[in-house]
Chain A
Amino acid sequence: MSKTIETVDDVVIRFAGDSGDGMQLTGTQFTNTTALVGNDLSTLPDYPAEIRAPAGTLFGVSSFQLRFSSWDILTPGDQPDVLVAMNPAALKVHLKDLKKSGLIVANTDSFDDKNLALAGFAGNPLADDTLVDYQVIEVPITKLTLNALQGMGLTQKESVRCKNFFALGLMYWMYSRPMEPTEGWIKQKFGNEPKIAEANDKAMKAGYYYGESTEVFASRFEVKPAQLKPGLYRNITGNEATALGVVAAAKKAGIPLFYASYPITPASDILHNLSSYKNYGVKTFQAEDEIAAAGVAVGAAYAGNLAVTGTSGPGAALKSETISLGVMLELPIVIVDVQRGGPSTGLPTKTEQSDLLFVMYGRHGEAPAPIVAAATPADCFHMAYEAARIAVKYMTPVYLLTDGYLGNGSEPWLVPDSKELPTIPVTFRTDPENFHPYARNENNVRPWALPGTPGLEHRIGGLEKANITGNVSYDPDNHDFMVHLRAEKVAGIAKDIPLQEVYGEQSGDLLVMSWGGTYGAVRSTVDRLRKKGYKLSHAHLRYLNPFPRNLGEVLGNFGTIFVPEINLGQLARLLRSEYLIDVVQFNKVRGLPLRSTELEQAIVKTLEAIPANGKRS
């Protein structure tokens, strides 16, 4: 039976089920295939903090949202067009996000009394009028999977576990995706369990042909490839990109990479990735805690490696004392903070931008440290590279801020050629003539002198250093001098980073100013409003300390500055204190990316409040 194929250009699918249902895997497979088809895409995995929460419960729901498109997209989308709900809890949790008249594919087999009760449904939403506003497609996914795998000699449990591949196959059919990439993946993944491999493969195909052969689906869709810039692409998550960024920086600098870390969600994948790159000379050290990881990084930096230590908020707090030492020792260390919801354990698997002030000020003493922040998953590569470049050039700890959304989310990445990457020159001091550990070059940077170099024996430490000699000094004027010197050194980096760019008109009534992982949501919202005829511009910060040297000027060119953040106004506070201007804040701290619909409303409200003369009273 052939069915009509409708061409659409932008789709948001959300796969949702129990955390044991394999939704992350299903989403990842759909994503990889979609990347190969050539769509632009953006993903938003969302999973509970519990590894295997009790089956059927609301808090055990795990989901994977994927947006793919035939044009350039910047966000994983606010509202799904399609919700694949593997059980009632998944439907309950995600229904409120679904577009009106959106499509629900429900696994009817799981809508039994027990699961309905666990999800808190009074009746069966498939039977009553709960879903009148939506198109519902009921598929007995579990039963169909079991039927397809009959006679294979698998246990019931093993067969049921394949049902996510049935759902995947069905979605492949619905969006006209090829099954070959996943076929290949299954073969590789389950190489030594041929029966399981065959079962998953069969389940996927059963799902695909179910779509093809039954009457329930009126039509299927096609999303044409996006017109991306020519070149070689791969789909990449922020954490993968961060790992590659520091590997690339070390290679370009000609020094070994040393990554010291203690596992923490959502930063652990950086450790996982780097620990598999042994043949690139990468050393990884899983320390006993984050304090140790930071200490190990200090030692590795002193010994001449590109030292990197990655973590999330709680670990960043533990590293704080050691990073102050790093500031005093003036050693290059990159600290990656993949931000998550806080305070304390907070929302460990969700995203937030709430560590900006912490990395800015969360050290004892006057301890300045540069901060850079990635804007998109792929941008993590470039900002990790930048963090490393600044660290070794200026002999200083540097923070790289990413977040849970960037770290786990993915997008197509135009892979750079290593030759195009900026050089990272490193010279180790070898000449004993006139050597002083705290002598300075034109950038106020001290020499990197490695233990093992004859004639350069010297001691460094946390006690205040005498300028130039580096000997311990309690002299009041020397301390005052050194405190200023360290601050000036970091401030001076402003001349070595790009000017702040403004998207849209270079002056006007309203500038939306964002930073970090909100880039996609903010840029697409600004774009939409501009298309609707509103006058506004957008500036997205990737350098947060020091700020780009033209930032004051940029801010001065606009009547109103609107600052959306997933925190209570941390950048807003920095801008106010640095430039003595007021800004309008927009703050939503839901553990999720900003929603463009909400953002759009808030911006419009702000625009409408701007008086005709452009100046707010």
Chain B
Amino acid sequence: MAGTNGNGETLKQSPAQPKKYTAKDFASDQDVRWCPGCGDYSVLAQVQRILPDLDVPKEKQIFISGIGCSSRFPYYMNAYGIHGIHGRAPAIASGVKSANPDLTVWVATGDGDALSIGGNHIIHALRRNIGLKILMFNNRIYGLTKGQYSPTSELGKKTKSSPFGTIDYPFNPVQLALGSGGTFVARSMDRDPKHLQQVLLRAAKHDGTAFTDIFQNCNVFNDGAYFLYTEKDTRPDNVLYVEHGKPLVFGKENDKGIKLEGFTPKVISLKDGKHSISDVLVYDETSYELAVLVATFGDRPGFPMPIGVFFKADRPSYEKMMTDQIEAVTKKRGAGDLDKLLKSGNTWTVTAN
């Protein structure tokens, strides 16, 4: 931003000061090719909207993806990007981040990309707490290959590759991320743009791996998979917005809450005269135990689907420890000298005679 000095002269913008961007600055010149109505559009829009608030210049942002509809994401961002291969985005991104920790590294991945073929890389990225912002576009289907079931498809779901219904139990991505040691684990929805923006902004600012499970509608192969949670009339009774320091209440009139009886969560009515708001569990996103428990709600009959930031912990990131270790060893041993290294070990000299 331009300012003035004491004499009223305009000061040139300092190059160190990041330029103030708008969402448009992050749109590339490539035509977006998702099906009209696809939930991916919303995720793209929300990411482009929050980036100006990060104060990170666009040359320091990099988007890395695997393969799938959602993995076309990098092409549409005016930033650096790699459209990788199926499932391997976290590995490629880990290479970028450890080679240059200064970059803000995003991973765009699908439910199949991240949890099926790339399952190994996802859990290890989370375990290492390497600074990747992982956006998992969870449409509970294989979009790009035209509609086979995915590792998040519900049991019994009929798809092209399961005409009689699937016999595979699905993953709960939030549980998986928590079990893998994730230090920022969240869930949001394509059709709740405000919430998605808030979560993404927090994910972007998190130091370490940030995993966001994003409910995304594939209107071609799995239309309405999340309408119960995303649509106006059904959302209030079926979605629990999890927020740090707030009681776990939901319902059209905030008339329901979650109570903990021993280790067992119960849905209570705040209107039945027996319970009041003081019975309701207050959420604490720093509690791993609460996160693990609340993450199961979506799979419990009669419970609302939890959405929000489940867990956030501060733990040194992989890239920080990598840098620190190199510094510490260099301090102890002195900066390496190539000729000394080549000539180390047991050496002897042969003289001419």
Chain A residues proximal to chain B, CB less than 8 Å? 32, 35-36, 38, 181, 225, 228-236, 244, 247-248, 251, 256, 258, 260, 277-281, 283, 285, 287-289, 291-305, 307, 321-322, 325, 329, 415-418, 450-463, 471-472
Counting chain B CB atoms within 10 Å of each CB, which of A232, A292, A294, A456 scores highest?
Answer: A292
For the complex, what is the distance from the CA of A281 to the CA of B326, rounded to whole Å? 7
| Complex contact A416–B342 (CB within 8 A) | yes
- Shortest C-beta distance, A225 to chain B (Å), equals 8
For the complex, what is the distance from the CA of A294 to the CA of B88, rounded to whole Å? 10
| Complex contact A455–B88 (CB within 8 A) | no
For the complex, what is the distance from the CA of A298 to the CA of B89, rounded to whole Å? 10
- Shortest C-beta distance, B73 to chain A (Å), equals 10
Given contacts A260-B95, A455-B59, A461-B84, whether A277 and B350 have CB atoms under 8 Å apart is no
B329 at the interface (CB under 8 A from A): yes
A-chain residues with CB within 8 Å of residue B121 when the two chains form the complex: 288, 291-292, 295
Choose among A32, A322, A451 the residue that contacts B60 (Cβ–Cβ < 8 A): A451
Choose among A244, A322, A329 the residue that contacts B342 (Cβ–Cβ < 8 A): A244
| Complex contact A451–B338 (CB within 8 A) | no
| Complex contact A292–B91 (CB within 8 A) | yes
26 A-B contacts, Cβ less than 8 Å apart?
A32-B346, A230-B352, A233-B347, A233-B350, A258-B95, A278-B329, A279-B335, A283-B326, A285-B98, A288-B120, A292-B91, A294-B91, A297-B95, A300-B95, A302-B82, A302-B96, A304-B99, A305-B99, A322-B88, A451-B100, A452-B80, A452-B102, A456-B59, A459-B28, A459-B83, A462-B83
B79 at the interface (CB under 8 A from A): yes
B-chain residues with CB within 8 Å of residue A471 when the two chains form the complex: 30
Given contacts A459-B80, A459-B83, whether A231 and B349 have CB atoms under 8 Å apart is yes
| Complex contact A415–B347 (CB within 8 A) | yes
| Complex contact A299–B93 (CB within 8 A) | yes
A-chain residues with CB within 8 Å of residue B83 when the two chains form the complex: 459-463
> Considering only CB atoms, which chain A residue lies closest to B342 in the complex?
A415
| Complex contact A325–B85 (CB within 8 A) | yes
B-chain residues with CB within 8 Å of residue A280 when the two chains form the complex: 335-336, 338, 341
| Complex contact A299–B92 (CB within 8 A) | yes
A-chain residues with CB within 8 Å of residue B234 when the two chains form the complex: none
Tell me which residues from 274 to 310 in chain B have a Cβ below 8 Å from any Cβ of chain A: none
- Shortest C-beta distance, A582 to chain B (Å), equals 40
- Shortest C-beta distance, B248 to chain A (Å), equals 36
Tell me which residues from 1 to 59 in chain B have a Cβ below 8 Å from any Cβ of chain A: 28, 30, 57-59
Interface string of B151-188 (1 = CB under 8 A from A): 00000000000000000000000000000000000000
> Considering only CB atoms, which chain B residue lies closest to A277 in the complex?
B336
| Complex contact B96–A289 (CB within 8 A) | no
Interface size class of B (residues with CB under 8 A): 35 or more
> Considering only CB atoms, which chain B residue lies closest to A235 in the complex?
B346
| Complex contact B95–A298 (CB within 8 A) | yes
B334 at the interface (CB under 8 A from A): yes
| Complex contact A292–B347 (CB within 8 A) | no
The total number of A-B Cβ pairs within 8 Å is 209
| Complex contact B81–A459 (CB within 8 A) | yes
Given contacts A232-B347, A295-B88, whether A452 and B59 have CB atoms under 8 Å apart is yes
A-chain residues with CB within 8 Å of residue B62 when the two chains form the complex: 451
| Complex contact B100–A230 (CB within 8 A) | no
Q: A303-B100, A459-B83 are known; give 9 further A-B pairs, CB within 8 A.
A: A234-B345, A283-B322, A287-B124, A296-B94, A299-B91, A302-B82, A329-B82, A458-B80, A459-B75
Interface string of B328-346 (1 = CB under 8 A from A): 0110111110110111111
| Complex contact B57–A279 (CB within 8 A) | no
Given contacts A329-B82, A415-B343, A453-B59, whether A230 and B351 have CB atoms under 8 Å apart is yes
| Complex contact B333–A298 (CB within 8 A) | no
- Shortest C-beta distance, B61 to chain A (Å), equals 8
B-chain residues with CB within 8 Å of residue A38 when the two chains form the complex: 348, 350
For the complex, what is the distance from the CA of A279 to the CA of B329, rounded to whole Å? 6
| Complex contact B75–A461 (CB within 8 A) | yes
B-chain residues with CB within 8 Å of residue A294 when the two chains form the complex: 91
For the complex, what is the distance from the CA of A278 to the CA of B336, rounded to whole Å? 8
Given contacts A258-B98, A299-B64, A462-B85, whether A278 and B325 have CB atoms under 8 Å apart is yes
B-chain residues with CB within 8 Å of residue A325 when the two chains form the complex: 84-85
B103 at the interface (CB under 8 A from A): yes
For the complex, what is the distance from the CA of A472 to the CA of B30, rounded to whole Å? 9
For the complex, what is the distance from the CA of A244 to the CA of B344, rounded to whole Å? 11
Chain B residues proximal to chain A, CB less than 8 Å? 28, 30, 57-60, 62-64, 67, 74-75, 77-85, 88, 90-100, 102-103, 120-121, 124, 322, 325-326, 329-330, 332-336, 338-339, 341-352
Choose among B60, B77, B338 the residue that contacts A418 (Cβ–Cβ < 8 A): B338
For the complex, what is the distance from the CA of A450 to the CA of B59, rounded to whole Å? 9
- Shortest C-beta distance, A514 to chain B (Å), equals 28
B-chain residues with CB within 8 Å of residue A232 when the two chains form the complex: 343, 347-349
> Considering only CB atoms, which chain A residue lies closest to B30 in the complex?
A471
A-chain residues with CB within 8 Å of residue B333 when the two chains form the complex: 279
B-chain residues with CB within 8 Å of residue A458 when the two chains form the complex: 80-81
Given contacts A295-B91, A322-B88, whether A256 and B75 have CB atoms under 8 Å apart is no
Choose among B88, B97, B345 the residue that contacts A291 (Cβ–Cβ < 8 A): B88
Choose among A230, A279, A283, A417 the residue that contacts B99 (Cβ–Cβ < 8 A): A283
| Complex contact B346–A35 (CB within 8 A) | yes
> Considering only CB atoms, which chain A residue lies closest to B323 in the complex?
A283
- Shortest C-beta distance, B273 to chain A (Å), equals 54
Choose among A35, A234, A287, A304 the residue that contacts B91 (Cβ–Cβ < 8 A): A287
- Shortest C-beta distance, B89 to chain A (Å), equals 8
- Shortest C-beta distance, B27 to chain A (Å), equals 12
| Complex contact A231–B350 (CB within 8 A) | yes
> Considering only CB atoms, which chain A residue lies closest to B58 in the complex?
A457
A-chain residues with CB within 8 Å of residue B350 when the two chains form the complex: 38, 225, 228-231, 233
Choose among A234, A258, A295, A453 the residue that contacts B347 (Cβ–Cβ < 8 A): A234
- Shortest C-beta distance, B304 to chain A (Å), equals 35
- Shortest C-beta distance, A443 to chain B (Å), equals 24
| Complex contact B351–A452 (CB within 8 A) | no
For the complex, what is the distance from the CA of A279 to the CA of B80, rounded to whole Å? 30
| Complex contact A462–B94 (CB within 8 A) | no
B-chain residues with CB within 8 Å of residue A231 when the two chains form the complex: 349-350
| Complex contact A303–B103 (CB within 8 A) | yes
Q: Rank and list the top 8 A-B pairs by shortest CB-CB distance, nearest first.
A: A299-B95, A461-B83, A295-B91, A280-B336, A303-B99, A296-B95, A451-B80, A459-B81
B-chain residues with CB within 8 Å of residue A295 when the two chains form the complex: 84-85, 88, 90-92, 94-95, 121
B-chain residues with CB within 8 Å of residue A416 when the two chains form the complex: 342
- Shortest C-beta distance, B118 to chain A (Å), equals 9
For the complex, what is the distance from the CA of A463 to the CA of B67, rounded to whole Å? 10
| Complex contact A285–B345 (CB within 8 A) | no
| Complex contact B98–A298 (CB within 8 A) | no
> Considering only CB atoms, which chain A residue lies closest to B65 in the complex?
A461
Given contacts A278-B326, A461-B75, whether A304 and B100 have CB atoms under 8 Å apart is yes
| Complex contact B120–A292 (CB within 8 A) | yes
- Shortest C-beta distance, A70 to chain B (Å), equals 12
Counting chain B CB atoms within 10 Å of each CB, which of A236, A296, A322 scores highest?
Answer: A296
- Shortest C-beta distance, B136 to chain A (Å), equals 18
| Complex contact A418–B81 (CB within 8 A) | no
> Considering only CB atoms, which chain A residue lies closest to B100 in the complex?
A303
For the complex, what is the distance from the CA of A251 to the CA of B58, rounded to whole Å? 30
| Complex contact A452–B60 (CB within 8 A) | yes
- Shortest C-beta distance, B133 to chain A (Å), equals 15
> Considering only CB atoms, which chain A residue lies closest to B347 in the complex?
A234
A-chain residues with CB within 8 Å of residue B97 when the two chains form the complex: 299
- Shortest C-beta distance, B81 to chain A (Å), equals 4
For the complex, what is the distance from the CA of A158 to the CA of B341, rounded to whole Å? 36
A-chain residues with CB within 8 Å of residue B64 when the two chains form the complex: 299
A-chain residues with CB within 8 Å of residue B91 when the two chains form the complex: 287, 291-296, 298-299
| Complex contact B78–A452 (CB within 8 A) | no
- Shortest C-beta distance, B134 to chain A (Å), equals 14
For the complex, what is the distance from the CA of A346 to the CA of B84, rounded to whole Å? 32
For the complex, what is the distance from the CA of A299 to the CA of B105, rounded to whole Å? 11
B-chain residues with CB within 8 Å of residue A296 when the two chains form the complex: 91-92, 94-95, 98
